[in-house]
């Protein structure tokens, strides 16, 4: 099943891509950066850093955090965070629909599935 | 200037992304894998491997090569190769146009340009 993955490059240092959107969705779902990190198979530190990077991309926070104890506190998305996720997913779904014919043309030309052999 | 970069994942091992398309375009332009590699700042070996990977994705070749001497011979795109590049670039341009409003919404929420500071 063909997927089209988007990366939106606002400029040479600020972007939103598939991994960042997935992290935001998990934070929204679990209310926790630690749990979102676990779901994505990444370290808490990496998820925290990513959340900070996404926050610093926009003029308002996308991820909010309440500091807690050893459990790491809770986290969630702001209205802006939810908008960014929604717009991204709408674009992704729209692209698949709009370019179904182009994708079909390419799919028809695909060879058998195999590992590349040098 | 916002750009939307696409990666088309046909399945878990076969994909077409921005770097691959750019390599195909340079091969088409220069008629040489060595020159295309140089234009992209990658080694000849890496470009050659990428071209092989793209070829093995499809049932017909996308890149053709004529072996030469020390210069490395010449290379070019097949009709399929040109179609893949054309469809990809059309999708990319179409996405920017179709989602101009969504992108504008996100652009308006961007913060000042800066390096992320921990």
Q: What is the pLDDT of residues A3-17, one digit of tens each?
A: 999 999 999 889 999
Q: Does a structural domain hold residue B17?
A: no
CB A4 within 8 A of CB B10: no
Q: Does a structural domain hold residue A110?
A: no
- Give percent of chain A above pLDDT 70: 92
Contact criterion met (CB < 8 Å) for A56 and B6: no
Q: What's the pTM?
A: 0.84
Q: Does a structural domain hold residue A2?
A: no
Q: Does a structural domain hold residue A4?
A: no
Domain count of the fold of chain B: 1
Q: Does a structural domain hold residue A38?
A: yes
Confidence of residue B71 (pLDDT cuts 50, 70, 90): low
The ipTM of this complex is 0.82
pLDDT of residue A48: 93
Q: Does a structural domain hold residue B91?
A: yes
pLDDT of residue A66: 84
Residue A70 has pLDDT above 80, yes or no: no
In a mutational test of the A interface, the residue from B48, B104, B113 whose CB has the highest number of chain A CBs within 10 Å is B113
Shortest distance between the Cα of B30 and any Cα of chain A, in A, equals 24
Shortest distance between the Cα of A78 and any Cα of chain B, in A, equals 13
Q: Does a structural domain hold residue B56?
A: yes
Residue A58: exposure state from Cβ atoms within 10 A (0-12, 13-18, ≥19): buried
User: CA-to-CA distance for A20 and B93, rounded, in angstroms?
Assistant: 23
Contact criterion met (CB < 8 Å) for B57 and A110: yes
Sheet holding A15-16, edge to edge: A15-16, A3-9, B3-9, B15-16
pLDDT of residue B118: 47
User: CA-to-CA distance for B104 and B26, rounded, in angstroms?
Assistant: 31
Q: Does a structural domain hold residue A118?
A: no
Contact criterion met (CB < 8 Å) for A58 and B107: no
The boundaries of the domain holding residue A72 are: 25-99
Confidence of residue B114 (pLDDT cuts 50, 70, 90): low
Residue A98: list chain B partners with CB under 8 A.
94, 98
Residue A39 has pLDDT above 70, yes or no: yes
| CATH value at residue B87 | 1.10.10.10
Minimum-distance CB partner of B11 among A11, A91, A113? A113
User: CA-to-CA distance for A10 and A17, rounded, in angstroms?
Assistant: 11
Residue A118 has pLDDT above 50, yes or no: no
What are B37-66's pLDDT values in tens digits?
A: 999 999 999 999 999 999 999 999 999 988
């Amino acid at each position: 099943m063909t997927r089209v993955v988007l990366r939106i490059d606002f400029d040479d240092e600020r972007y939103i891509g598939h991994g960042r959107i997935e992290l935001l969705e998990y934070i929204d779902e679990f209310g926790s950066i630690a749990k979102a990190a676990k779901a994505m198979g990444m370290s808490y530190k990496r998820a925290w850093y990513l959340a900070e990077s996404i926050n610093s991309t926009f003029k308002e926070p996308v991820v909010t955090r309440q500091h807690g104890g050893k459990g790491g506190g809770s986290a969630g998305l702001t209205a802006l965070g939810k908008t960014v996720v929604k717009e991204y997913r709408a674009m992704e779904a729209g692209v698949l629909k709009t370019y179904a014919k182009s994708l079909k043309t390419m799919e028809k030309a695909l060879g058998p599935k195999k590992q590349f052999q040098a």
